[in-house]
A and B are shown apart, each in its own frame.
Chain A
């Protein structure tokens, strides 16, 4: 079984300040982890992914996330928030295998990021 917990339902930051969106996961197998972003009235877009390679993963738009197995965490960060970053962010876990069950995406409840000018 696998699950993911996004610790904050809403995060508000000022433009130009750092962003931290927290995610903890639980998985019986070696997990793959993803962050997706959903802008208002837009589809889901993949920000970045971890698939058992480097633990520090860099994504699009200056976002990065670090996989910490000891803490079962995969927090999303960005050094400086931009107004265009305001959106809903979803942490997602799946089994790290191209075989059985790899399509079983489990979504967190989402974190809404607000950026204050």
Chain B
């Protein structure tokens, strides 16, 4: 398994500001992922972050809005830039661990963001 922590756990922010969310894993992992869960919705993958390379963004998400850093194998940050109320969501990071026949993903507790 993997123990994942996120900071902050929740925040209330003003429109037009930016928030950086931190994700820390208890051991080294190659792949880390950032998801968004809008109110009452399912999880949507924002981007995949591999250490030492640029993050890969899914359709509908761009680097200018959601810049990601991955400075080492246990840490990543996601910034939500120039926020609007539509950015109010839970943001989750996850990591992938190789198994015998599949790769399992483990999720952090999430960061609950409210934009006023």
Asked whether, in the complex, the Cβ of B104 is within 8 Å of the Cβ of A98, the reply is no
Interchain Cβ contacts within 8 Å, total number: 54
The interface residues of chain B lying within 8 Å CB-to-CB of A105 are: 33, 43, 45, 105
Say yes or no: is B67 at the interface (Cβ < 8 Å to chain A).
Answer: no
Asked whether, in the complex, the Cβ of B104 is within 8 Å of the Cβ of A49, the reply is yes
Q: Report whether over half of chain B's contact residues are helix, strand or loop; otherwise say mixed.
A: strand
Asked whether, in the complex, the Cβ of A96 is within 8 Å of the Cβ of B102, the reply is yes
Q: A50-100: which have CB < 8 Å to B? A: 51-53, 90, 94, 96-98
Number of B interface residues, CB 8 Å?
A: 23
* Contact string against A for B residues 31-66, beta-carbon threshold 8 Å, 1 for contact and 0 otherwise: 101000000011111001000000000000000000
* Contact string against B for A residues 32-60, beta-carbon threshold 8 Å, 1 for contact and 0 otherwise: 10001000011110100101110000000
Q: Quick one: which of B48, B106, B109 contacts A103, CB cutoff 8 A?
A: B48
Say yes or no: is B92 at the interface (Cβ < 8 Å to chain A).
Answer: yes
Number of A interface residues, CB 8 Å?
A: 24
The interface residues of chain A lying within 8 Å CB-to-CB of B96 are: 102-103
Q: Report whether over half of chain A's contact residues are helix, strand or loop; otherwise say mixed.
A: loop
Q: A43-B108, A43-B110, A103-B33 are in contact. Are A90 and B101 (CB under 8 A)?
A: no
Q: Complex Cα distance A52/B99, Å? A: 13
Q: B4-35: which have CB < 8 Å to A? A: 31, 33
Name A's B-contacting residues (CB within 8 A): 32, 36, 41-44, 46, 49, 51-53, 90, 94, 96-98, 102-105, 107-110
A and B contact pairs by CB, cutoff 8 A, 23 listed: A36-B107, A44-B92, A44-B107, A46-B104, A49-B104, A51-B102, A52-B101, A90-B42, A90-B43, A96-B102, A98-B99, A98-B101, A98-B102, A98-B103, A103-B31, A103-B48, A103-B96, A103-B105, A105-B33, A107-B42, A108-B42, A109-B41, A110-B41
